[in-house]
Amino acid sequence: MSSVEMNKITSLFFISTLFFVYGQKVDILKNTDQEILVNFEFDELVFNQTKENETSFIDFSILAGVTTYEKGAPALPFYSKSILIPGTGGNELQVSYDAIIEYNLVDITPSQGLVKRNSTNQPYVFGEAYSKNEFYPGKLAMCSTPFLLRELRGQTIKLFPYQYNPVTKVLRFYKNLSVHVKFTNTSSENELFSITNSMLGEREFSSQFINYKPHQNKYLAKEEEGEMLVICPESFKAYIQPLVDWKNQKGIKTTIQTIENIGTTSDKIKQYLNNYYLSNPSLLYLLLVGDHSDVPSYSYGTFSGDEYWSDSYYGQLSGNDMYSELFVGRFSGSLLEVETMVKRTLEYEKSPKIGDWMTRAIGIASSQGLGIGDDGEIDWQHERKMRDTLLATGYSYVYEFYDGSQGGNDADNNPTNNDIISALNSGVGLLNYTGHGDTYNFITSNFYNTDILKATNYGSYPFVISVACNNGKFVNNECMSETWLSAKNNNQITGAIAACGSSILMDWAPPMKTQDEIVRLLSNYSSGVHKYSLGGLFNNGQFSMLEKYGKDGDGVVQTWIFFGDPSTVFRSKLTQSIDLSVNLNDISNELEIVSSIKDLKIGVSKKNKYLTNGNTINNTFNYILPQNQWNDTIIITATSQNYGVKQFYIFDGKLSNFEIYPNPCQNSITIYSLMDCEISFFTLDGKIVQKTDYKGFSYKEMDVSFLEEGIYLIQIEFGGQKINKKLEVVR
CA distances from 254 to 173, 230, 400, 498, 559 (A): 54, 7, 39, 19, 26
148 within 8 A of 141, measured Cβ to Cβ: no
The active-site residue, picked from 232, 436, 479, 677, is 436
The DSSP letter of residue 699 is E
What amino acid occupies position 708?
Answer: E
The set of residues, in sequence order, having a beta carbon less than 8 Å from that of 640 and lying 6+ positions away, is 578, 597, 599, 600, 601
557 within 8 A of 546, measured Cβ to Cβ: yes
Three-class DSSP labels, 153-192: EEEEEEECCEEEECCCCEEEEEEEEEEEEEECCCCCCCCC
575 within 8 A of 643, measured Cβ to Cβ: yes
Is 469 tagged catalytic?
Answer: yes
CA distance 662 to 349: 20
Strand, helix or coil at 287?
strand
Task: From 126, 97, 120, select the one nearest 23 (Cα to Cα).
Answer: 97
The active-site residue, picked from 232, 469, 500, 677, is 469
Phi/psi at 212 (5° precision)? -65, 130
Exposure string (b/e) for 211-247, b if CB count within 10 Å is 16 or more?
A: bbeeeeeeeeeebbbbbbbbbbbeebeebbebbbbbb
437 within 8 A of 468, measured Cβ to Cβ: yes
Packing angle of the helix pair 510-523, 534-549 (nearest 10 deg): 130
What amino acid occupies position 333?
Answer: G
Q: Is the dihedral of CA 340, 343, 349, 351 positive or negative?
A: negative
CA distance 380 to 402: 6
CA distances from 74 to 68, 70, 85, 119, 378 (A): 8, 8, 31, 21, 21
The DSSP letter of residue 704 is -
CA distances from 291 to 260, 331, 475 (A): 15, 8, 8
Residue 126: how many other CB atoms lie within 10 Å: 14
HSE value, Cβ hemisphere, 13 Å, CA-based, for 295: 28
> Which residues participate in catalysis according to the annotation?
436, 469
